Amino acid sequence: MMTLQNDTFLRALMREPTPYTPIWIMRQAGRYLPEYNATRKRAGSFLGLAKNPGYCTEVTLQPLDRFPLDAAILFSDILTIPDAMGLGLYFAEGEGPKFERTVRTEEDVKRLPLADMQQLQYVTDAVSQIRKALNGRVPLIGFSGSPFTLACYMVEGGGSDDFRRIKTMLYQRPDLLHTILEKNAESVIAYLNAQIDAGAQAVMLFDTWGGTLAHNAYREFSLAYAKRVMAGLKRNNEGRIVPRIFFTKGGGLWLESMAEIGADALGVDWTINLADAKRRVGNKVALQGNLDPNTLFGEPATIEREAKRVLAEFAADGTADGHVFNLGHGISQFTDPAHVEALVNVVHRASARV
Amino acid sequence: MMTLQNDTFLRALMREPTPYTPIWIMRQAGRYLPEYNATRKRAGSFLGLAKNPGYCTEVTLQPLDRFPLDAAILFSDILTIPDAMGLGLYFAEGEGPKFERTVRTEEDVKRLPLADMQQLQYVTDAVSQIRKALNGRVPLIGFSGSPFTLACYMVEGGGSDDFRRIKTMLYQRPDLLHTILEKNAESVIAYLNAQIDAGAQAVMLFDTWGGTLAHNAYREFSLAYAKRVMAGLKRNNEGRIVPRIFFTKGGGLWLESMAEIGADALGVDWTINLADAKRRVGNKVALQGNLDPNTLFGEPATIEREAKRVLAEFAADGTADGHVFNLGHGISQFTDPAHVEALVNVVHRASARV
């Protein structure tokens, strides 16, 4: 393997000193880039893109060719695991992801298999190819949905406004939900370890929907399984620690308990002041975030002002190390790429250690 | 006016002692009740119902005839104010509220009038009729959307997943958004004071979408205008204080600053432990909440357990006064009314002061 030329991202995740604050952007390979849309068109469909390692490699590298980002993230879908459990992932045009089969009854839960790792080889193949293509430029992040977030889609059968079906299960048949979560956790561990074996140099667990839970239910149904995942992950690969990032969108109230599960860094959204977040997690974890993606609809001067505010909030206690700059959610498809460039540049420039 | 027979709700909002913890339920007059659906059918449409004081009175009282709730809330829509600014509120079947005209350009903002209070007479007429019909059983709550939440609908033209248009305005033309918010705040003050004059005995400001903002934007674009509203409200009516409740859904991180704006009570959603919330707001405000509405999909034994947990969290410091029990969001239309009865009963029984 090529030597890593830029390890600021990995160092920041471990709260080691870096010459500037590294930045990457959730969903950085995506629809706001015309070159992504061109690849997707060639692929024929979103799944045609996501299940083809060549296309995945192509789109993963696209944002890096435009912007001096400090990390690449595997291009894939959050729902590969339930698909590999046989639920039949599909995308209806203009709607979100859907499953042909849902997991709602005792019988559904009982016969739910672990994810078939052979069916997920397109993902590990993509990881290997991307690592080769990156050739040591920046580290590659692998990822998975959290056990609870995957369960949301599996029980609801797709996205949801109110999470009525999974919460009905949670309050009526918590035993069934626990069984699903156990299977999901075991599958996520195997999946992320396979990504690490294939070359992922950091991993991120996306708990997109944990923030919709009551605080006690969050601990029992989301955090406990995220912790189990962390405990099952390989710690080292290629002679280096593989840092883990955990992100619960809307989880700002729970940072103290999130900092205890074995993650090296926590993702945080824009509702929290990073100075408060840092005070609350102490020396336990690094922080990743937290600009509102909608800030990128402002003019470059506004983007610069807001990015500097985020940097200053993190460094309010005098140290800028241990911060990975990011948005607090995926970038909008309506974003002007020139505004992303303005953001990346200001973060690097304004955070340069003197 | 009849003497108020049950003032536990008003007393709890002022953190005075009560014999038990009062309870009401957001959207308690609503689609989960067959009698509500029957009235709505007679009214022909949602707006036919909401704009008719007789129907409003009928549905406001329906939940009180079923359950021993401790407050009634005016049946109305959150978007009456923009409608009375001439934006043309309508409901497309199966979709949410929409406006015929949006407020996006400098010209739109300039010509936006204050709400025409004469056009809102159906609301104040409803308040008067409901007070008469209540005949002193329980207090009547008036309400309005917050200036920012109203602005979301006015700029987006309806509901939104990403609030892209209003956030684009916020980051590109904050001056325009401030002008809208000033007009909204002035209109909300006139509207709530008219409700108070007509007989509302407490008022609630619903900041449904403030929680989508970055923490600094929340203070500037939502909280500042909520504070302005509080300062403009009549403090007393009929010889009694008219308590004010402020609720920002998803605002649990900001309770300290929310407690400073002149509200008597803060609504809180289910993501926060009430013991933490109470510690953070100190003696400044009462708290209203905070059961996840989806808990009501559980069996009565589960509802009892969770309701007792919420009560115990609030009373963890030894005092149960200053708590109004509620859900953390409106009740789902799919809720079994028998489960609401179980909730109201357990809250009264389990909170009885000994």
If you measure CA to CA, which chain B residue comes closest to A305? B171
Cβ proximity of B139 and B4 under 8 Å? yes
CB contact under 8 A, B214 and A171: no
CB contact under 8 A, A172 and B332: no
Q: Is A40 an annotated catalytic residue?
A: yes
| Angle CA A233–A119–A247, to nearest 5 | 40
Question: A94 falls in which pLDDT band (50, 70, 90)?
Answer: confident
Q: For residues B188 and B352, what is the distance between their CA atoms, to the nearest angstrom?
A: 37
B326 versus A354: the higher-pLDDT residue is B326
Give the model's pLDDT for residue B95. Answer: 79
CB-CB neighbors (< 8 A) of A170 in chain B: 294
- Determine whether B340 is exposed, middle or buried from the number of CB atoms within 10 Å of its CB (0-12, 13-18, 19+): buried
CB-CB neighbors (< 8 A) of B295 in chain A: 167, 171, 214
If you measure CA to CA, which chain B residue comes closest to A270? B214
CB contact under 8 A, B214 and A332: no
Give the model's pLDDT for residue A277. Answer: 98
A93 versus A122: the higher-pLDDT residue is A122
Cβ proximity of A293 and A328 under 8 Å? yes
Q: How far is B172 from chain A (nearest CA, A)?
A: 5
Candidates A153, A191, A218, A225; catalytic one: A153
CB contact under 8 A, B250 and A273: no
Question: A77 falls in which pLDDT band (50, 70, 90)?
Answer: very high
Residue in A172, A252, A292 closest to B253 by CB: A252
Q: For residues A79 and B349, what is the distance between their CA atoms, to the nearest angstrom?
A: 45
CB contact under 8 A, A172 and B299: yes
CB-CB neighbors (< 8 A) of B334 in chain A: 164
Q: How far is A208 from chain B (nearest CA, A)?
A: 15
Q: Is the predicted pLDDT of residue A163 greater than 70, yes or no?
A: yes
Q: How far is B27 from chain A (nearest CA, A)?
A: 15
Q: Any CB–CB contact under 8 A between A162 and chain B?
A: yes
Q: For residues B7 and B311, what is the distance between their CA atoms, to the nearest angstrom?
A: 19
* Interfacial A residues in 265-304 facing B (CB < 8 Å): 270-273, 276, 291-292, 294-295, 297-299, 302
> How would you classify the pairing of strands A202-207 and A140-145?
parallel
CB-CB neighbors (< 8 A) of A295 in chain B: 167, 171, 214
Query: How confident is the model over A210-219, as pLDDT tens digits?
Result: 999 999 999 9
Query: How confident is the model over B16-41, as pLDDT tens digits?
Result: 999 999 999 999 999 999 999 999 99
Kindly state the tokens that stand for B192: 């709530």
Q: What is the 3-state secondary structure (H, E, C) of chain B?
A: CCCCCCCHHHHHHCCCCCCCCCECCCCCCCCCCHHHHHHHHHHCCHHHHHCCHHHHHHHHHHHHHHCCCCCEECCCCCCHHHHHHHHCEEECCCCCEEECCCCCCHHHHHHCCCCCHHHHHHHHHHHHHHHHHHCCCCCEEEEEECHHHHHHHHHHCECCCCCHHHHHHHHHCHHHHHHHHHHHHHHHHHHHHHHHHHCCCEEEEEECCHHHCCHHHHHHHHHHHHHHHHHHCCCEECCEECCEEEEECCCHHHHHHHCCCCCCEEECCCCCCHHHHHHHHCCCCEEEEEECHHHHHCCHHHHHHHHHHHHHHHHHHCCCCCEEEEECCCCCCCCCHHHHHHHHHHHHHHHCCC
DSSP characters over A59-113: HHHHHHHHS--S-EE----TTHHHIIIII-EEE-TTS-EEESS---SHHHHHHPP
Regions of chain B short of the pLDDT cut 70: 1
If you measure CA to CA, which chain A residue comes closest to B163? A294
CB-CB neighbors (< 8 A) of A291 in chain B: 214
Give the model's pLDDT for residue B93. Answer: 76
Give the model's pLDDT for residue A36. Answer: 98
Question: A1 falls in which pLDDT band (50, 70, 90)?
Answer: low
Complex ipTM more than 0.85, yes or no: yes
Q: Is A36 an annotated catalytic residue?
A: no
CB contact under 8 A, B215 and A299: no
Query: How confident is the model over A296-338, as pLDDT tens digits?
Result: 999 999 999 999 999 999 999 999 999 999 999 999 999 999 9
Mean pLDDT, all residues of chain A: 97
Domain boundaries, chain A: 8-351
pTM of the model: 0.96
CB contact under 8 A, A171 and B253: no
Q: For residues A13 and A3, what is the distance between their CA atoms, to the nearest angstrom?
A: 19
As a CATH number, domain A8-351 is 3.20.20.210
CB contact under 8 A, A216 and B302: no
- DSSP H or E stretch at residue A54: helix A53-66
Query: How confident is the model over A230-285, as pLDDT tens digits?
Result: 999 999 999 999 999 999 999 999 999 999 999 999 999 999 999 999 999 999 99
Phi then psi for residue B205, to 5 deg, are: -105, 115
